[in-house]
Amino acid sequence: MRIHVRLLSTVVATGALLVGCGSSSGESLEDWYSSGGEKSIKALSEASSRVNEVSVRPMDTWGAACKELLTEVAEAEELDAIPSENAEGFWKEALTLFEDGGNECVAGAEADDQPRASAGIREVQKGIGRLSSTTSMIAGDLKAE
């Protein structure tokens, strides 16, 4: 249940961010968001949600979902730093947790090592919370400016 609540929080925070993006102030943050940040946040949210969803299915489905997440992490790492000190810290933590967890998940799934793959998924689940915090910080910064 906790995971589903976190996932819902991520979706709600992302939705709040989409609505709050119409403000004319905070243009550099808005520029980051409109020039790839929004797309990356959505892709990471969807891919990490899939990892979370498959975690209750047979292990043979885990590796593909984790590989998809790793692809989205690599794309997100190409973006410039978020021009929000508050959000940037959570963003980096989310990317690190997604990458480390995704790699462990893939390695565990390929080796048929369920404890290792499960540990990776738990890291991804922590990353979901950090991504939610990122979107909340961005929304707050946009609203405040």
Does a structural domain hold residue 11? no
Does a structural domain hold residue 96? yes
- Cα of 121 vs its chain's centroid, Å: 13
Does a structural domain hold residue 47? yes
pLDDT tens-digit series, residues 36-67: 999 999 999 999 999 999 999 999 999 999 99
Q: What pLDDT is attached to residue 13? A: 46
* CATH number for the domain harbouring residue 137: 1.20.120
Does a structural domain hold residue 1? no
Does a structural domain hold residue 74? yes
**What DSSP string describes 46-89?**
HHHHHHHHHTTS-GGGHHHHHHHHHHHHHHHTTSPPPS-HHHHH
Does a structural domain hold residue 16? no
Amino acid identity of 119?
A
- The predicted model gives 18-28 an average pLDDT of 45
* pTM for this entry: 0.80
Lowest model confidence (mean pLDDT) among 13-22, 123-132, 135-144: 13-22
Domain extent at residue 59: 27-144
pLDDT tens-digit series, residues 103-124: 999 999 999 999 999 999 999 9
Please give the tally of structural domains in the chain.
1
Band the pLDDT of 143: cuts 50, 70, 90. confident
Does a structural domain hold residue 128? yes
Does a structural domain hold residue 65? yes
Band the pLDDT of 27: cuts 50, 70, 90. low
Q: What pLDDT is attached to residue 122? A: 97
CA-nearest of 31, 6, 12 to 130 is: 6
